Amino acid sequence: MVVIGAGPAGLTAAVYLARFRRRVLVLGDGPSRTSWIPQSHNTPGFPHGVAGPELLARLTEQALEYGAELRSALATALSAVPEGFAVETADGTVRASAVLLCTGVRDILPPLPGVDDAIRRGIVRMCPICDAYEAIGARIAVLGAGGLADREAAFLGAYSDDVTVIPPDEGTLRITATGVGWIRPGDADEHLFDHLYLALGCAPQASLATGCGARCAEDGNLVVDAHQMTSVDGLYAAGDVVRGLNQIAVAAGEAAIAATAIHNRLRSRA
């Protein structure tokens, strides 16, 4: 059994599958976007918050405790073969009777110097569902245009009366020590904000699945059934690559559903 992706979804699935006494290999390529989270306060079980790197470390420790194997390797191709699937990596081909994709999404970031560090400091944010509560009463800017930016601004309006939508490429943005500054065209004064929310969208990392024939919805997310199986028999998906809510709790729940379905599928064929 192979899980591709070592974020909350992939590691949760590894814990479940290992506890089902399945041999499970997790392939992870680089840091999960969860590692950007300075402190999550809506992750169940952490009333005082948990940093993204700490959460990933705990999940990794738990998966290893039950015998899961974690390998740092990029999966470059996925194909169906008579006995299941073949996963191509730089180190060779891995065979599996079933595959679970937890490949997530790639955020669209602005060309703003220091944006990565600002995300880790909680100045630049990407998920108002996750952390708008911590921005109550703050001066908030939303970078984006069209429906997505308008929806995020409306959502944030329940937490602050000071919300401004900044269209991309309009004026000058800069990250400060404590927030973000913006000079709009024709205005000499700099407007200061405590937080900048990005409403630029993200791209589901679904190419492995689509290359294997899996179907996507119009938004690019993978289409799955009630047990998280894609349109390709034996190929499952969980987490951000499936739907746009992009929540740790949702990813973990979908991973648990997928892992249980995979275990039952393999058990029925034994």
Mind listing the pLDDT tens digit for each residue in 224-255? 999 999 999 999 999 999 987 899 999 999 99
Question: Of all helices (H) and strands (E), which one includes residue 57?
Answer: helix 52-65
Residues 149, 142: contact at Cβ < 8 Å? Answer: yes
CATH of 2-106+202-269, one of 3.90.1150.10, 3.40.50.720, 3.90.1570.10, 3.50.50.60: 3.50.50.60
For residues 81-102, average pLDDT = 95
For residues 107-132, average pLDDT = 96
For residues 61-84, average pLDDT = 96
What is 109-198's CATH superfamily?
Answer: FAD/NAD(P)-binding domain (3.50.50.60)
Q: Which residues in the chain are classed under CATH 3.50.50.60? A: 2-106+202-269, 109-198
- pLDDT tens readout for residues 211-222: 999 999 999 999
Closest CA to 192 of 158, 160, 164, 156: 164
Supply the pLDDT for residue 270: 67
User: Is the pLDDT score of 29 beyond 80?
Assistant: yes
For residues 36-62, average pLDDT = 97
User: Percent of the chain, pLDDT > 90?
Assistant: 93
How big is the chain, counted in residues? Answer: 270
- Take residue 229 and report the two structure tokens written for it: 């199986």
User: Is the pLDDT score of 67 beyond 80?
Assistant: yes
